[in-house]
Structure 1
Amino acid sequence: MKSSRLVAILLLLQTRGRMTAAQLAAELEVSVRTVYRDVEALGAAGVPLYGDAGHAGGYRLLDGWRTRLTGLTTAEAEALFLAGAPGPAADLGLGPVLAAAQLKVRAALPPELRGHADRISGRFHLDAPGWYADADETPYLAAVAEAVWNGRALDVRYRRWREPTEVRRRLEPYGLVLKAGRWYVVAAPGPRTYRVDQILELTLLDEEFSRPEAFDLAAHWTAYQRDFHVRLYGAGGEALVRLAPGVKLPRAETVETTAAWTLVRVPIESVDHATAQFLRLGTDIEVLEPPELRARMARTIAELAERYGNREADDAG
């Protein structure tokens, strides 16, 4: 809608400063001609918006001019307060900052939107880590965040899984990612991905670096996850399994579906890894192939049955 697009132009210029008509058009996914018309409409409404010609030109707002957040819809206000994750913000040392920002946004909202925002904050809570995983100790997270923000290089002593298990690295941190309750830092050279909880020592260096303008953290992380799955499952083969209705496995390819079972092929890293993963599903899965995996599952289940059966016999005796 045009009204929401006009608000979007105001907020883009307010947060990013000078932008060309082509940049605004690309951001809003409209034509440049549409941007021209929208800018004219904003000017007619009294918004102090100026356009500069030339190679370094573009549109900008009068210095110091701000707009209130009255253009938020109910859904946008709800999403804004749902997205504010106090746990990760506190990890980064930004807990009070987040609270202050939400307070300011709440004060700027009309009464009806304020009520929706309060209601969603009281009904939804984000707790990212799994049930059986303790929170990682990340004593250097705030220092890494500072280096990311200020473009400062780091000297770290890092623990990795292969020999030598402890190495020193000079890192140029591009960004932080929170995945399933665990913090990762994406850093040059490479760039490569490091677990923040595996940093054993850290020194913030006086050296500054320039983050590549074309680097997109979200796109990089998506590609990293895709490559990770290829590395993880690419050389391990696949298994043919039957799943109970409603049970899903990542990267599974459905072969046949009946009322009682779904037959799927799923990539596996190794027999050991697959056994541990499939045992979690209990009677909701039956491994058909490969034979060595089926045999390992049967042997493990038999050993478990014998162990728990013997304990019951001992207790009865």
Structure 2
Amino acid sequence: MLGGRLRHMRADRLLSIVLLLQSRGRQTAHQLAAELEVSARTIYRDMQALGTAGIPVYGDATGYGLIDGYRTQLTGLTAAEARGLVLAELPGVAADLGLAEAVAAAQLKLAAALPDALRERTARMRQRFHLDTPGWYADRDSSEHLAALADAVWRQRTLAVRYENWTGSAEHRLEPYGLVLKAGKWYLVARAARGLRTFRVSQIRELTVLAEEFTWPDGFDLVAHWHEHIADFRARLVRGEALARFSPAAVELLPHLMGQAVVDAVAAGEPQPDGWILARVPIETDSHAEMQFLRLGVQVEVLAPAELRGRIAATVTELARTYAGTRDAAGRLRR
């Protein structure tokens, strides 16, 4: 069995060599070895095997190439490569899902199948445009279960998971419908005992893929469901509003510090004689709003609700008390 796997691996590598020469032109043994993660000695042996098999390869002091005009038709995609092709321009995501090798193979086969002019144009696009999905201040989620989840989604296999969030830990039996990458974070959309739910993948502590398969629901659209989920989530976030005055400097900072709903509300606010803007803005909770408004410092004044204004006043008073004195090297406060 091991011998069969090794023969299969070598056959894949020999095809990859032909496709690399077809899509990239002349390559040295060391270039091919680095690309395929083998030794140069292995490449030399593979070239002999290709020649014996009738593939018109030739070598000289500058490297290896194919006789002009030769093109292989062995460019069919495997099932894994076809799946990975969707993620061809997201190598980090493909790696997370366990499809990195399939994506690389699919890209190579596509490149080999393209006409020369189109292949050159595609290579130029990759050189000049890059998509980096995570935000500036956060990396992608990491989870040891992500590849297994992706496989279960694809094969429609039921899952048993232990999920942990701020409310505690719970066991769930899930039918995984799809995975969504949002701002560098992975989410699983799955049917649980109480209906369709969304789970943060990094908060899945234990996962078992069960033998039981589930039936894909007729008419389910992952993209449409996700858009509805986001709209509902945003609607539930807004639980109240605050009346506040914003300075011109605050108006400039808002797009960088607060959500679009607040930016829009301030833009529609009432200009004041001193140049400030009076506006009613949506807030989630008093505690969340307090943190948000404190980021603007003296460039904002909250007028209502009174509870929120009081919270901010108490925090500012405590800050003033903290910074009224100085501390020595040992951290002792001196007034």
* Residue of structure 1 in register with 2:106 after alignment: 101
CA deviations on 1:87-140 (whole Å, 9 max, x unpaired) are 111110112222222333334445554444334433444333334435433111
**Secondary structure, aligned partner of 2:260:** coil
Name structure 2 gaps, 5 residues minimum. Answer: 1-75, 77-84
What amino acid is aligned across from residue 260 of structure 2 in structure 1?
Answer: P
What amino acid is aligned across from residue 256 of structure 1 in structure 2?
Answer: G
CA contact (8 A) 1:175 1:186 kept: yes
What amino acid is aligned across from residue 279 of structure 1 in structure 2?
Answer: L
**Secondary structure, aligned partner of 1:204:** strand
The structure with the largest alpha-carbon Rg is: 2
**Secondary structure, aligned partner of 1:137:** coil
What amino acid is aligned across from residue 199 of structure 2 in structure 1?
Answer: Y
The reply on whether 1:247 has 2:254 as its aligned counterpart is: yes
Deviation larger for 207-216 or 267-276? 267-276
1:259-270 matches, cutoff 5 A: 260-270=275-285
* Residue of structure 1 in register with 2:12 after alignment: none
Measure, in 2, the Cα distance between the counterparts of 1:108 and 1:262: 60
**Secondary structure, aligned partner of 1:133:** coil
* Residue of structure 1 in register with 2:163 after alignment: 158
Structure 1 residues 291, 110: closer, same or farther in 2, change over 3 A? farther
* Residue of structure 1 in register with 2:222 after alignment: 217
Measure, in 2, the Cα distance between the counterparts of 1:240 and 1:232: 18
Structure 1 residues 81, 206: closer, same or farther in 2, change over 3 A? closer
Structure 1 residues 81, 187: closer, same or farther in 2, change over 3 A? closer
TM-score (norm 2): 0.60
Structure 1 residues 291, 118: closer, same or farther in 2, change over 3 A? farther
CA contact (8 A) 2:175 2:214 kept: yes
Structure 1 residues 102, 246: closer, same or farther in 2, change over 3 A? farther
CA contact (8 A) 1:158 1:200 kept: yes
CA contact (8 A) 1:155 1:169 kept: yes
The reply on whether 1:133 has 2:154 as its aligned counterpart is: no
CA deviations on 1:182-225 (whole Å, 9 max, x unpaired) are 11100113111111111111111010001112000011011111
Structure 1 residues 130, 256: closer, same or farther in 2, change over 3 A? same
Name structure 1 gaps, 5 residues minimum. Answer: 1-67, 69-79
1:218-237 matches, cutoff 5 A: 218-233=223-238, 236-237=239-240
TM-score (norm 1): 0.63
**Secondary structure, aligned partner of 1:126:** coil
What amino acid is aligned across from residue 152 of structure 1 in structure 2?
Answer: R
Displacement of 1:263: 4.3
Measure, in 2, the Cα distance between the counterparts of 1:278 and 1:263: 14
Measure, in 2, the Cα distance between the counterparts of 1:176 and 1:221: 10
The reply on whether 1:310 has 2:325 as its aligned counterpart is: yes
Aligned pairs, number: 234
Deviation larger for 89-98 or 283-292? 283-292
The match for 1:205 among 207, 210, 219 is 210
Measure, in 1, the Cα distance between the counterparts of 2:133 and 2:215: 32
The match for 1:170 among 155, 170, 173 is 173
Measure, in 1, the Cα distance between the counterparts of 2:101 and 2:124: 21
* Residue of structure 1 in register with 2:269 after alignment: 256
The match for 2:293 among 254, 273, 278 is 278
- Percentage of identical aligned residues: 53
Structure 1 residues 104, 298: closer, same or farther in 2, change over 3 A? farther
Structure 1 residues 156, 125: closer, same or farther in 2, change over 3 A? same
**Secondary structure, aligned partner of 1:84:** coil
1:34-183 matches, cutoff 5 A: 84-133=89-138, 135-162=140-167, 165-183=168-186
Displacement of 1:300: 2.5
Measure, in 2, the Cα distance between the counterparts of 1:89 and 1:276: 37
Displacement of 1:261: 4.7
* Residue of structure 1 in register with 2:315 after alignment: 300
